[in-house]
Amino acid sequence: MKRHIFFIIFLACFGTSFSQADKVADQDSQPMIDVEFVNWVDRVDSLVNIHFYYRPDTLVYGEIHRDSIIRELPDSIYRERIAAIHSPVELSYNDQVRRNLDFYIKRAYRQIPRLLALSSYYFPMFEEIFDQYGLPYELKYLAVIESALNPEAVSRVGATGLWQFMYATGKMQGLEINSYVDERRDPIASTHAACQFLQSLYGVYDDWMLVLAAYNCGPGNVNRAIIRAGGKDNFWDIYHYLPRETRNYVPAFITVNYIFEYYDQHGFVAEEIDLFGLVDTVHINHDMHFDQIAACVNISKEDLRFLNPQYKRDLIPAKNKTRHLILPVEIIADFVQIEDSIHLYKDSIYLNPAKIAYSPTASSAGTYPAASQPAGTKSLTYTIKPGDAIGLIASWYDVGLSELKAWNGLYSNTIRAGAKLTIYVPAAKAASYEMVDKMSKAAKQKREGVHPETGKALPEPLDPNYEYYTVRSGDNPWIIAQKYPGINANDILTLNGIKSASSLKVGQKLKIRKKN
């Protein structure tokens, strides 16, 4: 064993303070299999709120079909199948594993199809990162136990993300956590952190079963259990000296290995989810809002949130630090081509700190008292349609997103089709906005100057009486003016109604002068 006695004694006394141990429930609590079941099922069920889930009227495993699931087999079959799984992690079968198999297959059978579907997105990502660290691929199943593959999962004590890092542990592993970014929710960054943590634990214990236990309850609890067991360092020998949740943790890991290896032998199939194909990463070097991206390229804000859950307020704060953004590969070329224009699209609204909503934790109702009607405005009502996003609605009425949410007492950006929103517009212009509620989405996008299918900004109609110049990357008004004798930068800005040179967009058509 790669341990020294003084290090063991130190960790036994102090190790819990810098570990994941705060996740472990009180030893005197109710049986953890019941508490764990409720929490774990809640995490899986919360995934149905993600818009890409396909939820048919009759679920794959509704009450009608529950008898088609093979939910119990003899011990001999379980033992034989687990023994046949090739893994560097010791996978044994005993009463504790059987109890967990009953828990997952008998009681959580509705959740398994969702996990199978999500695994097709997350597991290849995990395995690629595990390969970089030389770790067993089977460790990917820890994320199933920890978060039910939900990157936005938060435990009752604050552990967050796919790998359920506590705040202190996440910071210790180098993850960024602040008002706008939480890398515990970043599938890539958090998996690297989990690998580093697991690798460091293996350097101490040289035994994957003990590493799993230490990941759950902290090395301090594991080392105390070893001491209480008289120095024995086999997981099953120290089993009764571990916190209750950790006693379930390793058997649950073995169980999840079994389920993903033999799910089809029990009649399970993956739930139908409209997941992404290939995705890739682009780097961002200036602030950008999800609403800007969704308005200019063919991707919804909801998809951006799923692919990039680390950005807590739909804002990529890249002014002083390069950030990464995951996108479907089919739209990356479009994104890169017009990235400068995306950054400048309604930047006075989306990138204005005074207008970026800071949403406190939502109440159970998700609302707070609505703001009063501003003077000089008329109240309009908009009925939310399927596919609408609150940011789009704000743009259709030329109001700020934070204002729209304040008027309707909304904490979050979540809206439901059929609900009604109150919108205040200038009384003098009310007639031009009254028709919006009855327009198709395509018509509303076109009215906003956005192509209804591609999501790209539509070019403004050109005045045939003027000469025009198309803005290129690196241009500014002074550079452009040098191309036209007798024209200066201020002439160009004034003629085009531009207040700031920084607001020029690549591809923008600028009036230069009247034709002779």
Task: Determine how β-strand 420-426 pairs with β-strand 377-383.
Answer: antiparallel
How much is the pLDDT for 372? 78
How much is the pLDDT for 11? 35
Region of 432 (left: φ > 0; alpha: ψ -120 to 50; beta: rest) is: alpha
How much is the pLDDT for 62? 42
- The span from the CA of 300 to the CA of 50, in Å, is 12
Residues 228-245: pLDDT tens digits? 999 998 999 999 999 988
Which residue intervals of the chain bear CATH 3.10.350.10? 357-447, 466-514
How much is the pLDDT for 449? 60
- The span from the CA of 111 to the CA of 490, in Å, is 63
With beta carbons less than 8 A apart as the criterion, state whether 186 and 202 touch.
no
Q: Which helix (H) or strand (E) holds 511?
A: strand 509-514
Nearest CA-CA partner of 180 in 84, 284, 312: 312
Q: Which helix (H) or strand (E) holds 289?
A: strand 288-289
Which residue intervals of the chain bear CATH 1.10.530.10? 5-266
Residues 427-473: pLDDT tens digits? 988 988 998 999 887 787 766 665 555 445 555 667 888 899 988 87
How much is the pLDDT for 482? 86
How much is the pLDDT for 47? 43
How much is the pLDDT for 500? 64
- The span from the CA of 101 to the CA of 91, in Å, is 13
How much is the pLDDT for 54? 33
- The span from the CA of 280 to the CA of 308, in Å, is 12
The domain defined by 357-447 folds into Membrane-bound Lytic Murein Transglycosylase D; Chain A (3.10.350)
Q: If you ran DSSP here, which 8-state letter would residue 177 be given?
A: B
How much is the pLDDT for 376? 87
Q: What are the Cα distances from residue 286, in Å, to 76, 130, 306, 313, 351?
A: 60, 31, 21, 16, 10
Residue with tokens 């990917």: 140
Tell me the β-bridge partners of 280.
Answer: 327
What does the DSSP assignment read for 191-216?
HHHHHHHHHHHHHHHS-HHHHHHHHH
How much is the pLDDT for 198? 96
Q: List the catalytic residues.
A: 146
Q: How far apart are the first and last CA of the chain?
A: 88
The structure tokens listed for 375 are 């003077």
How much is the pLDDT for 476? 81
With beta carbons less than 8 A apart as the criterion, state whether 24 and 175 touch.
no
pTM: 0.62
Residues 396-431: pLDDT tens digits? 888 877 788 888 887 667 788 888 999 999 998 898
Using a 10 angstrom Cβ sphere, with 0-12 exposed, 13-18 middle and 19 or more buried, the burial of residue 274 is exposed
With beta carbons less than 8 A apart as the criterion, state whether 455 and 298 touch.
yes
Q: What CATH code would you report for 5-266?
A: 1.10.530.10
- The span from the CA of 373 to the CA of 451, in Å, is 32
How much is the pLDDT for 478? 82
How much is the pLDDT for 53? 36
Q: What CATH code would you report for 466-514?
A: 3.10.350.10
- The span from the CA of 290 to the CA of 2, in Å, is 48
- The span from the CA of 245 to the CA of 264, in Å, is 29
How much is the pLDDT for 450? 58
pLDDT string in tens for the chain (516-residue length): 433 333 333 333 333 333 454 454 434 333 455 445 445 444 444 443 343 333 333 344 444 355 678 888 999 999 999 999 999 999 999 999 999 998 888 888 888 888 998 998 899 999 999 999 999 999 999 999 999 999 988 888 889 999 999 999 999 999 999 999 999 999 999 999 999 999 999 999 999 999 999 999 999 999 999 999 999 989 999 999 999 889 989 999 999 999 999 999 998 888 877 677 788 999 999 999 999 998 888 888 888 999 999 999 999 999 889 999 999 988 898 898 888 888 888 888 888 764 544 333 333 334 456 677 888 899 999 999 887 778 778 878 888 777 888 888 876 677 888 889 999 999 988 988 998 999 887 787 766 665 555 445 555 667 888 899 988 877 888 888 888 988 888 888 888 877 666 667 777 888 899 887
- The span from the CA of 303 to the CA of 323, in Å, is 18
Identify the three-state secondary structure at position 383.
strand
- The span from the CA of 219 to the CA of 215, in Å, is 8
With beta carbons less than 8 A apart as the criterion, state whether 312 and 181 touch.
yes
- The span from the CA of 410 to the CA of 352, in Å, is 20
